[in-house]
Structure 1
Amino acid sequence: MTDLRKDSVTFVTVDDAGHDQRIDNFLLRLLKGVPKSHVYRILRSGEVRVNKGRIDASYRLREGDVLRIPPVRVASADPAARPAPAQEFAIIYEDEALLVINKPAGVAVHGGSGVSFGVIEQLRAARPDARFLELVHRLDRETSGLLMLAKKRSALVKLHEMIRENRMDKRYQALGVGDWAEARKQVKLPLLKFNLPDGERRVKVSDQGQSAHTNFHVLKRLPGFVLVEAQLKTGRTHQIRVHMAASGAAIAGDEKYGDFAYNRSLHKQGLKRMFLHAWRLRLDHPLTGVPLTLEAPLPRELQSFLDTLSA
């Protein structure tokens, strides 16, 4: 273990990037390498002070607060760990508060679960002077399309509030294997997370799960397929994928909820990924209130596969 704080107390002044953040989350990010249990211990014991006073883990910081942090010991960096390579992605929209990119398929949004790094780590490496950069929401690794990141904590807090209150319109395009009769379809099936014996995460329809609601609109019917627009009314893990599979039209190329053998045949026909793309986003700007409509057209590989089906 390496004592990064030596034997001295550290004082940190909170800037606007830390405003309104819970102190436990602030410390967990600031004290990378310190066990979570130790962070909560120094909070409970009162060793962490804010403006010379004791606080609990739920305290929300304000810009200008002065934190007293006791000496802590953090783990030495693993010399074998590979730092995230700096990477920018196609920018759909950017200003001082918000960044919206077009995430390619095959790229995780963050590191973890066997992935060393993702979009957020690569963007932070590419923007070392950025004072604040956080994911607003997530996309599956296999899903492409619009991904929002906040460049100010005030924007992040507002965007999360908008998501909770369903004041953001997120639309996806997906190609289902099969068909359904309805031109418009509402699916309200509760979803439950579970793990396979090997630890891999899955989601299934279950009365014990969380409520989930997706609206579907058929865009085009093709021989053996249906192209739909999916509107998320809730944001559960793998929601569109499981709702489509439960409706009899699993997403083409979906390795978790689709037909494995059929997906192999689609791969030979040119579809080498899951056909799910976050294509349109409508919201009011989190700080100015100006209405925004952001779009990312289907990637070339998905459009090309559609063209072969229509030929």
Structure 2
Amino acid sequence: MNEPSDNKPRLIEIDAESAGQRVDNFLFTRLKGVPKSHVYRILRTGEVRINGGRCQAPRKLEEGDVVRVPPVRTAQREETSAPVGLLRGRLESAIAYEDDDFLVIDKPAGMAVHGGSGVSYGVIEGLRALRPRAKFLELVHRLDRDTSGLLLVAKKRSALNALHALFRDDHAVRKVYVALLAGVWARKQLSVDAPLKKNVLQSGERIVKVARDGKPALTEFRRLRKYATATLVEARLYTGRTHQIRVHAQSMGHPIACDERYGEDAANQAFRRSGLRRLFLHAAELSFIHPRTGQPFTIKAPLAAELQNYLDTLTA
């Protein structure tokens, strides 16, 4: 593979991990920060070539193909120093596990998993900047920006495909979260089986609601400890809908502490007055069969320090 320069095209030889992708999807991963409309333009105009010939977006890449990528200006190049400078220490110290197939980040709250929606970069852009020689780094799943805890990043396309297949099976991956609910929840355990539907408000804000015509969603809540004005619970996800735990907790009448979107203003103000500064939701455990070794894999992340410190101030 020829190394790129700022004003010369790149010649990229396709390896086994990249084979099977559409050429447009391959370019999206290689040209971070370039608008999709520009990627399709350089395909249309023949500036992208495979083995010397013009190609169309749906063309599937094969091992050994040589892709010519023209020089382009990307926002990522201009911003690379920002994620390196701001995220290097946080990301390096947040890697909880790594092998040849994937790594697991114990993501801090407040850090987006990827750029977009007003955020110039996130975990995945930071990792790519920290590891410029890595051929492949892709998110397996997502966490809300304000949620802390375990996040999977694939290091090979084969691992990404295998892990995606596991995550599509509601029973193949054990996903456990810890949350603090507003109010005293009288029950010890409850399975919330309530379909969820995304809605976009006139302001452009995305919100999720329980709706009969929504997608199936199942969360199992188990009480861990009661406090005077709050309840610590474990929430196990059997599906992976957007904001699922947050909306299901709201539907029980006990929204998550400091949830600015689905919580109650009065309760949130009380939590803030008592010292809680963030959404109390933490991805605490992931368990699945390792896609390459076939062995059971489990990883756990203790509560973020700011959450544990807050719990230590509460009275039963």
- TM more than 0.5: yes
- TM-aligned CA distance change 1:12 to 1:207, over 3 Å: same
- 2:182–2:267: 8 Å Cα contact kept in structure 1? no
Tell me whether 1:174 sits opposite 2:172 in the alignment: no
Letter in 2 for 1:114: G
- TM-aligned CA distance change 1:15 to 1:106, over 3 Å: same
Pick from 303, 309, 313: which aligns with 1:304?
A: 309
Quick one: distance in 2 between partners of 1:151 and 1:242? 32
Quick one: distance in 1 between partners of 2:116 and 2:299? 29
Pick from 114, 117, 124: which aligns with 1:113?
A: 117
- TM-aligned CA distance change 1:219 to 1:33, over 3 Å: closer
Tell me whether 1:255 sits opposite 2:260 in the alignment: yes
TM-score (norm 1): 0.86
- 2:49–2:67: 8 Å Cα contact kept in structure 1? yes
- TM-aligned CA distance change 1:62 to 1:186, over 3 Å: farther
- Corresponding residue for 1:129? 133
In the TM superposition, what is the alpha-carbon distance from 1:299 to its structure 2 partner? Answer: 1.4
How many pairs are equivalent?
Answer: 305
Quick one: distance in 2 between partners of 1:152 and 1:28? 16
Tell me whether 1:280 sits opposite 2:288 in the alignment: no
- Corresponding residue for 1:162? 166
- TM-aligned CA distance change 1:263 to 1:291, over 3 Å: same
- TM-aligned CA distance change 1:98 to 1:75, over 3 Å: closer
- Corresponding residue for 2:148? 144
Quick one: distance in 1 between partners of 2:225 and 2:287? 23
- TM-aligned CA distance change 1:33 to 1:309, over 3 Å: closer
Residue 310 of structure 1: SS of its match in structure 2? Answer: coil
In the TM superposition, what is the alpha-carbon distance from 1:57 to its structure 2 partner? Answer: 4.2
Q: Name the stretch that deviates more: 34-43 or 107-116.
A: 34-43
Q: CA RMSD in A?
A: 2.8
1:24-70, CA deviations, whole angstroms, 9 ceiling, x for partnerless residues? Answer: 2102233456553454467679886656788764454343233466x
Quick one: distance in 1 between partners of 2:154 and 2:29? 16
- Corresponding residue for 2:3? none
1:172-230, CA deviations, whole angstroms, 9 ceiling, x for partnerless residues? Answer: 00111124443221111111212233222211112232221111111122222221111
Quick one: distance in 2 between partners of 1:85 and 1:47? 30
- Corresponding residue for 2:25? 25
1:243-277, CA deviations, whole angstroms, 9 ceiling, x for partnerless residues? Answer: 00011110011111111232122112111111100
In the TM superposition, what is the alpha-carbon distance from 1:287 to its structure 2 partner? Answer: 1.5
In the TM superposition, what is the alpha-carbon distance from 1:294 to its structure 2 partner? Answer: 0.3
In the TM superposition, what is the alpha-carbon distance from 1:144 to its structure 2 partner? Answer: 0.4
- TM-aligned CA distance change 1:20 to 1:181, over 3 Å: farther
Structure 2: which 5+ runs fail to align? 1-5
Which protein has the bigger helix share?
Answer: 2
- 2:176–2:285: 8 Å Cα contact kept in structure 1? yes
- TM-aligned CA distance change 1:134 to 1:274, over 3 Å: same
In the TM superposition, what is the alpha-carbon distance from 1:126 to its structure 2 partner? Answer: 1.4
- TM-aligned CA distance change 1:106 to 1:34, over 3 Å: closer
- 1:188–1:214: 8 Å Cα contact kept in structure 2? yes
Q: Name the stretch that deviates more: 199-208 or 279-288.
A: 199-208
Quick one: distance in 2 between partners of 1:105 and 1:255? 14
1:126-160, CA deviations, whole angstroms, 9 ceiling, x for partnerless residues? Answer: 11221211111111111000111111111111100
- 1:32–1:74: 8 Å Cα contact kept in structure 2? no
